Amino acid sequence: MSLLIERLREAIPTEALLTDPDVTSSYAHDMAGFCPAGTPAAVVLPRTVEEVQHVMRTATEFGIPVVPQGARTGLSGAANADEGCLVLSLVRMDRILEISPVERIAVVEPGVVNAVLSRAVAEQGLYYPPDPSSWEMCTIGGNIGTASGGLCCVKYGVTAEYVLGLDVVLADGRLLRTGKRTAKGVAGYDLTRLFVGSEGSLGVVVRATLALRAAPPRQLAMAAEFPSAAAACDAVCRITEAGFTPSLLELMDRTTLRAVNEHTRMGLPETTEALLLAAFDTAEPGADLAAAGELCTAAGASSVVPADDAAESELLLQARREALPALERLKGTTMIDDVCVPRAALGAMIDGVAKIAERHDLTIGLCAHAGDGNTHPNVCFDGTDEEEAARARASFDEIMELGLRLGGTITGEHGVGVLKKEWLARELGPDALELQRGVKAVFDPLGLLNPGKLF
């Protein structure tokens, strides 16, 4: 190990190489529970592509696993350290290298925080749509690694749809450039899409070329209260069937509403069973909200309240963004599921989760990107209570099984990591899993990049 550290120091600045166990232990895991994490041998915080290449060449020479990391806000254990590995933290590679209003692209390093990029492009009248709830902390590299989504994905899509090209350091230290800067390009296999969502298992992203949009009008939102989750889901189906494309369509159940109120004192309605938030950023958002509101009323909404202005709309969105920290406060520990189902099955998914919570005597607060069927059941439990923790894990697995049974997928945007790799095998089946392992072997024949994740 001392020889490994000595070799790393040949091209890594002293302050960028951490070996103190008290310090390196803080890089051992992301925000997911129930995911094993080892102790890294060292943590490297590079600032240049050349430093990343040196780390990968050294790791290949010594046969040492490497775990790429961003801000460690992930929820599947994908950034968890392997025992004795090198953690490659990319948070110091945080430069926005280019913003082009003509080409409508941004070129960024992986450590750029999502919200920082969003605000920078907004200053030039542009828009980067992917907006995970952790957008004030999460990095673009992490977003690419897990193919993350966000609140606005119902209209604008997820991260994969905005990645035009990548610079990637491969396991042996070679630098690979994929994709293009042009609006069109179909030369060869789409290696860019292959890296998006690969969770650092195929290479280390060191630069990304991202597509931008023209900034839309300021959105206006409304809140609709429903006596049941089924009625709220009926409203979602009516809105999409009618041809509307809201910029946001989010759902929170009563458990989540109460938790957010306790956490923020926002005064959200607690007597309703489900609150649906809809927003439009069209030329006439007021008219679209009114029409969507009528559909909500037809579906059984007890109250439909449009926001008066952009500030009030933002307050409603902030309530949704506070759902996770609010639920964490209830018991101290949460397991956040990420099951996506067809829109028509959304009601059955929510009702099924409620039955699972009752059966296991657990608090499970559910919020969802309802517009695309992506549910986030949050299993709340006392992590120091072994028996309750066991029930929490059992409920988590039952939720994933329910999602697959309803024609869905085990993850819509959080990734597989350690937490769901057994379920990935069930969803894909043996043939698809064998092919994916074959792809991994082509890019990383020694199996050094983020071992133990995905499969």
Say whether both 84 and 140 belong to one domain.
no
Say whether both 239 and 375 belong to one domain.
yes
Q: What is the pLDDT at residue 333?
A: 87
* Mean pLDDT along residues 379-389: 94
Is 367 a member of any domain? yes
- Please enumerate in sequence order all residues whose Cβ is within 8 A of that of 20, keeping only pairs 6 or more positions apart, or say none: none
Q: Which of 29-33, 136-140, 239-243, 404-408 shows the lowest per-residue confidence on average (mean pLDDT)?
A: 29-33
Residue 33 clears pLDDT 90, i.e. is over it: no
Is 182 a member of any domain? yes
Summarize pLDDT for 104-130 with one digit per residue, the tens. 999 999 999 999 999 999 999 999 999
Say whether both 255 and 317 belong to one domain.
yes
Domain end among 198, 214, 230:
214
Domain count, the chain: 3
Is 340 a member of any domain? yes
Q: What is the pLDDT at residue 332?
A: 86
* Mean pLDDT along residues 292-313: 94
Domain end among 43, 74, 89:
89
HSE (side-chain half, CA atoms, 13 Å) at 99? 18
Which CATH number is 35's domain given?
Answer: 3.30.43.10
Residue whose structure tokens are 């915080």? 45
Say whether both 128 and 71 belong to one domain.
no
Is 385 a member of any domain? yes
Summarize pLDDT for 252-278 with one digit per residue, the tens. 999 999 999 999 988 888 889 999 999
- Residue 300: pLDDT band (50, 70, 90) is very high
Say whether both 355 and 263 belong to one domain.
yes
Say whether both 153 and 18 belong to one domain.
no
Say whether both 51 and 145 belong to one domain.
no
Is 106 a member of any domain? yes
Which range marks the domain in which residue 398 is found? 220-405
- Residue 289: pLDDT band (50, 70, 90) is very high
- Residue 1: pLDDT band (50, 70, 90) is confident
* Mean pLDDT along residues 337-357: 95
Residue 27 clears pLDDT 90, i.e. is over it: yes
Domain end among 57, 74, 89:
89
Say whether both 12 and 129 belong to one domain.
no
Q: What is the pLDDT at residue 7?
A: 97
Say whether both 307 and 171 belong to one domain.
no
* Mean pLDDT along residues 229-236: 95
Chain centroid offset of residue 110 CA:
15
Q: What is the pLDDT at residue 302?
A: 96
Q: What is the pLDDT at residue 308?
A: 87
Q: What is the pLDDT at residue 224?
A: 97
Share the mean pLDDT of the chain. 95
Instruction: Give 381's strand partners.
Output: 333
Residue 34 clears pLDDT 90, i.e. is over it: no
Q: Which of 16-25, 197-206, 268-277 shows the lowest per-residue confidence on average (mean pLDDT)?
A: 268-277
Q: Which long-range contacts (CB under 8 A, 24 or more apart) does 109-112 make?
A: 109/140, 109/141, 109/206, 109/207, 109/208, 110/70, 110/139, 110/140, 110/141, 110/142, 110/144, 110/205, 110/206, 110/207, 110/208, 111/70, 111/139, 111/140, 111/141, 112/139, 112/140
Say whether both 164 and 134 belong to one domain.
yes
Which CATH number is 268's domain given?
Answer: 3.40.462.10
- Residue 10: pLDDT band (50, 70, 90) is very high
* Mean pLDDT along residues 234-245: 96
Q: What is the pLDDT at residue 142?
A: 97
Q: For the chain, what is the HEC assignment?
A: CHHHHHHHCCCCCHHHEECCHHHHHHHCCCCCCCCCCCCCCEEECCCCHHHHHHHHHHHHHHCCCEEEECCCCCCCCCCCCCCCCEEEECCCCCCEEEEECCCCEEEECCCCEHHHHHHHHHCCCEECCCCCCCCCCCEHHHHHHHCCCCCCHHHHCCHHHHEEEEEEECCCCCEEEEECCCCCCCCCCCHHHHHCCCCCCCCEEEEEEEECEECCCCCEEEEEEECCHHHHHHHHHHHHHCCCCCCEEEEEEHHHHHHHHHHHCCCCCCCCCEEEEEEECCCCHHHHHHHHHHHHHHCCCCEEEECCCHHHHHHHHHHHHCHHHHHHHHHCEEEECCEECCHHHHHHHHHHHHHHHHHCCCEEEEEEEHHHCEEEEEEEECCCCHHHHHHHHHHHHHHHHHHHHCCCECCCCCCCCCCCHHHHHHHHCHHHHHHHHHHHHHHCCCCCECCCCCC
Say whether both 204 and 239 belong to one domain.
no
Is 312 a member of any domain? yes
Say whether both 282 and 385 belong to one domain.
yes
Is 263 a member of any domain? yes
Query: Which one, of 315, 316, 304, 279, lies nearest residue 225 by Cα?
Result: 304
pLDDT > 70 in the chain, percent? 100
Is 133 a member of any domain? yes
Chain centroid offset of residue 356 CA:
24
